[in-house]
Amino acid sequence: MSSERGRIRITGFDADAVERREPLSDWTENRAGETEGRWERGWREFRQNRSAMLGLYVVAAMALLAVFARPITVAGVTVQPFALAPYRPDAILYVQGLDVSAYEAPSLAHPFGTDGSARDVFSRVLYGGRFSLSIGFIVVFVTAAIGLVYGAVAGYYGGWVDEVMMRVLDLIFAFPGLLLALIIVAVLGKGYWELVLAFTAIGWAGYARLIRGEILKVKENEYVTAAKALGARDRRVIFRHVVPNAVAPLIVQASLSIGTVVIGVAALGFLGLGLPPGSAEWGTMLDQTRETIVQGPGGTIPWWVTVFPGGAIFLFVMSMNLIGDGINDALDAQEGEDVARGGEV
Amino acid sequence: MSDTREPILEVEGLTKYYESGGGVVDTLLGRSQEVKAVDGVDLELYPGETLGIVGESGCGKTTLAQALLRLIEPTAGTVRYRGEDLTAASDDRLRSLRKDIQYIFQDPFSSLNPRLTVGDIVGEPLDIHGIAAGEARTRRIDDLLETVGLSQRHAHRYPHEFSGGQRQRIGIARALAVDPEVIVCDEPVSALDVSVQAQILNLLEDLQDEFGLSYIVIAHDLSVVEHIADRVGVLYLGEFAEMGATGDVFGPPHHPYAEALLSAIPEPDPGWEGDRIFLSGEVPSPLDPPDGCRFHTRCPKVIQPEGSSLSQSEWRSLLDLKQRLRDADALESVTAVAESDGGAAGPAHLSRSALGERVREEFDLPSPVSDDEAESALSESIDRLHDGDFDAARAAIDDAFESPCERTDPPLYAVGDGHRIACLLYGEDYPDAPERA
């Protein structure tokens, strides 16, 4: 018995012997090449998700059809000579001397029929993808970029900066989204870039709030302090350490809201506040023909003038949502409340 | 320690108060309180030495470590590195000073960015300070990984593929990349298995020999500190209680707090007969640290006023009663729970003598206590409690029992060569205190 403190000694265990002994199996630590990054792993999981891949194929097909619908000419040089659509979208066919009348039912010559001005609906639906898709992608790209930077700055610096920046956001959130877009279009007038501006103005706030919340969480990690201890500047800390770890929910949100924007554009078009009347945008096409939903000339309902543009909107938005869900699963971003589903405005 | 050498790092009066419960509105209205996490800490670090800082959870260890490097802005005080004041340095100057003072983090799982490869993590300081690029950068990363016992094969892996010990090695390699003079290690091994702890501590010692580093090692594990440190500081509620060479701190004379900490080291010898010192009460909130000596609320050796003839344990119990009464508003908080109560009536319905018994039982006080004056003050207080008059009970006991430790904040008294203890027992006024052997 003693009151002298002892020391723990381990006997019978020789670390060197363990290192030197014969390997138990032929497993070696040396793996070929670099290990799989997060994005590769995400892409592998995404590819195994059938519905998401289906969505991707549909969106890709619609994008290709839109691009190759009519030739594209830049500054007098034709950069895309193909024309899948048989007619120009704004061509009134009987004016061109063809034997076609208004509201002609689908036939081999006109697979989707013709509309009230005797224009070929098939050509218009194909071509219309250019408006909806490009507005959707441009708006989401711009809003996500603005929201990312805004939210990152607010969340990272915190305090007064955060307080002021978030009150500005509250101002945006105070308006119902589509209503604000409607007002902006009403003030600026109809047009492609006016629509982009209207949806950008209402869209970025959601991303900013989402990314701010993520960044508040991520910046508590010790590797952020570690980067500061190494002498990194704020910009480097934010964009190399904080944002890459906070960006996954933003990507999910962005992919889902492409559908939202397309629905929104179509909705404004249907209200007559989208693109100028006569353009082949899907929502505007619906607006032009909405009286036919109830009753057309001669008591028949020309269903083809509404079903095909409406179906195109439906197909695209659903596909985008499938893709968004697939990305969500692949990146394992948290599901639920803070990631809104596409189509909710 | 040899005071002839110039300290490489000199800290004076380092203080960090946190605002508590503060939204912007609270701050405007002056409603916020201050958490005194670190309150006027002085220390010196000499070249090539290891200074250990120990203390229990919440005593301000990590705050001290991060305030040293201005990872959090200190409220007051100066930190001088080779004579240059870090707290006054501009942002740019501070950034370049970070090449000389580095930090190793407690948690190897959250201190490495999961999105970067190990090579990029270790290479980041090289990029930030423009130390190496291209081929030279790759070579330097390989060198660093090998220095800490990893292999250059690991450079393309991600942190999640490594064990805790390996991750801590990566963290060390990252700190070494800038060729620092001083490394502050915040609980470098507390997140690791015991066997891995030893490897990492040995690695730190080898690196110290190889590169002539100076360490400040924060830990709550006394055996870690005993193993690695040349000097030790014992932190209690944001102030140093004791400071000295490792052997001096681990041997007597002790600060009562350090003595209690040392007695709590687990002992593998089943024949061990040493006494474990149990501290009464809880760690006081740093929102409102006690006046005088911060340890007096729990100190088993708290000083009695002159002329008192109580035994030390009775004295401690009476002070506990006094502190408990201070914020008590119900009899339940100062009486023992009787098992035979049957849940019928609370202590308010007890007779005077039964109440007295319960109070004495709760605080382990004999009846009567060994000092007449004390006994009469205690009885008086219990009388008042029986009447339900808490203020009077408080007054009766406050006047009778007051320790010098409650009034005087002890400075660090020198008790040996470089060994200093912040306890009145070692001051000039108490030359014959029992501890001063």
pLDDT digits (tens, 9 = 90+) for A145-197: 999 999 999 999 988 899 999 999 998 888 888 888 888 888 988 888 988 99
Indicate the SS3 state at residue A108. Answer: coil
* Predicted local confidence at residue A335, as pLDDT: 37
In chain B, residues with a C-beta closer than 8 Å to the C-beta of A37 are 158
- Picking from A35, A230, A245, the nearest residue to B98 by CB comes out as A230
In this complex, do B272 and A3 lie within 8 Å of one another by their Cβ atoms? yes
In this complex, do B69 and A229 lie within 8 Å of one another by their Cβ atoms? yes
**Banded pLDDT at A139 (limits 50, 70, 90):** very high
Residue A97 burial (CB count, 10 A): 7
**Banded pLDDT at A338 (limits 50, 70, 90):** very low
Lowest mean pLDDT among A8-22, A75-89, A112-126, B373-387: A8-22
- Rounded to an integer, the average pLDDT of A100-116 is 77
Q: Would residue B150 count as lying in a domain?
A: no
- Percent of chain B predicted with pLDDT > 90: 16
Residue pLDDT, tens place only, A27-63: 555 544 455 566 777 788 888 889 999 999 999 999 9
In this complex, do B113 and A38 lie within 8 Å of one another by their Cβ atoms? no
* Predicted local confidence at residue A2, as pLDDT: 45
In this complex, do A229 and B102 lie within 8 Å of one another by their Cβ atoms? yes
pLDDT over 50 at B437, yes or no: no
- Picking from B69, B96, B111, the nearest residue to A222 by CB comes out as B111
What count of CB pairs under 8 Å joins A to B? 91
* Predicted local confidence at residue B168, as pLDDT: 92
In this complex, do A233 and B95 lie within 8 Å of one another by their Cβ atoms? yes
Query: Do residues B202 and B349 share a domain?
Result: no
The top-scoring range by mean pLDDT among A102-106, A233-237, B262-266, B427-431 is A233-237
Q: Would residue B352 count as lying in a domain?
A: yes
Question: Which B-chain residues 283-342 have CB contacts (< 8 A) with chain A?
Answer: none
Token code pair at residue A321: 């949502």
Give the minimum alpha-carbon distance from A213 to chain B in angstroms, rounded to a whole number.
Answer: 17
Nearest CA in chain A to B275: A3
- Rounded to an integer, the average pLDDT of A298-310 is 79
In chain A, residues with a C-beta closer than 8 Å to the C-beta of B178 are 230-231
- Percent of chain B predicted with pLDDT > 70: 90
d(CA A165, CA B289): 37
Residue pLDDT, tens place only, B38-81: 888 888 899 989 999 998 877 888 889 999 888 888 888 899 99
Question: Which A-chain residues 295-324 have CB contacts (< 8 A) with chain B?
Answer: none
Tell me phi and psi for residue B102, to 5 degrees.
-120, 175
d(CA B4, CA B354): 65
Question: Which A-chain residues 144-173 have CB contacts (< 8 A) with chain B?
Answer: 160, 163
Q: Does residue A16 belong to the interface with chain B, where contact is any CB pair within 8 Å? A: no
Four-point Cα dihedral B302, B306, B307, B308, nearest 10: -20
Q: Would residue B124 count as lying in a domain?
A: no
In chain A, residues with a C-beta closer than 8 Å to the C-beta of B111 are 221-223, 225-226
Domain boundaries, chain A: 45-69+113-331
- Picking from A37, A163, A223, the nearest residue to B110 by CB comes out as A223
Cα→Cα distances A13→A137, B10, B223, Å? 63, 43, 22
- Residue-number span of the structural domain to which B52 is assigned: 9-100+180-263
In this complex, do A228 and B114 lie within 8 Å of one another by their Cβ atoms? no
Query: Do residues B59 and B185 share a domain?
Result: yes
Query: Do residues B255 and B357 share a domain?
Result: no
- Picking from B115, B156, B274, the nearest residue to A34 by CB comes out as B156
In CATH terms, A45-69+113-331 corresponds, of 3.30.360.10, 1.10.3720.10, 1.20.150.20, 3.40.50.1240, to 1.10.3720.10
Indicate the SS3 state at residue B313. Answer: helix
Q: Does residue A2 belong to the interface with chain B, where contact is any CB pair within 8 Å? A: yes
Residue pLDDT, tens place only, B256-310: 888 888 887 777 777 767 677 777 777 788 787 888 888 888 888 888 877 777 7
d(CA B325, CA B306): 24
Domains in chain B: how many in total? 2
Query: Do residues B184 and B82 share a domain?
Result: yes
Q: What is the ipTM of this complex?
A: 0.78
Query: Do residues B38 and B185 share a domain?
Result: yes
- Beta partners for residue B16, in sequence order: B38
H or E element that contains B79: strand B76-81
- Rounded to an integer, the average pLDDT of B174-201 is 89
Query: Do residues B216 and B363 share a domain?
Result: no
Task: Specify the CATH number for the domain of residue B55.
Answer: 3.40.50.300
- Picking from A8, A30, A160, the nearest residue to B268 by CB comes out as A8
Tell me phi and psi for residue A210, to 5 degrees.
-60, -50
Give the minimum alpha-carbon distance from B383 to chain A in angstroms, rounded to a whole number.
Answer: 46
d(CA B66, CA B73): 8
pLDDT over 80 at B129, yes or no: yes
Residues with Cβ within 8 Å of B182's Cβ and at least 6 positions away in sequence, in order, are B8, B9, B45, B81, B100, B101, B102, B213, B214, B215, B216
Nearest CA in chain B to A9: B268
Query: Do residues B229 and B349 share a domain?
Result: no
> Which residue matches tokens 């076609």?
A100
Q: Does residue B67 belong to the interface with chain A, where contact is any CB pair within 8 Å? A: no
**Banded pLDDT at B181 (limits 50, 70, 90):** very high
Residue A258 burial (CB count, 10 A): 26
In this complex, do A160 and B95 lie within 8 Å of one another by their Cβ atoms? no
- Rounded to an integer, the average pLDDT of B369-374 is 79
**Banded pLDDT at A345 (limits 50, 70, 90):** very low
* Predicted local confidence at residue A298, as pLDDT: 64
Of residues A97 and B293, more confidence is placed in B293
pLDDT over 80 at A23, yes or no: no
* Predicted local confidence at residue A343, as pLDDT: 44
pLDDT over 80 at A327, yes or no: yes
Q: Would residue B331 count as lying in a domain?
A: yes
Indicate the SS3 state at residue B84. Answer: strand
**Banded pLDDT at B436 (limits 50, 70, 90):** very low
B-interface mutation test, from A230, A233, A243, most B Cβ less than 10 A away: A230
* The residue type at A285: M
Q: Would residue B225 count as lying in a domain?
A: yes
Query: Do residues B96 and B195 share a domain?
Result: yes
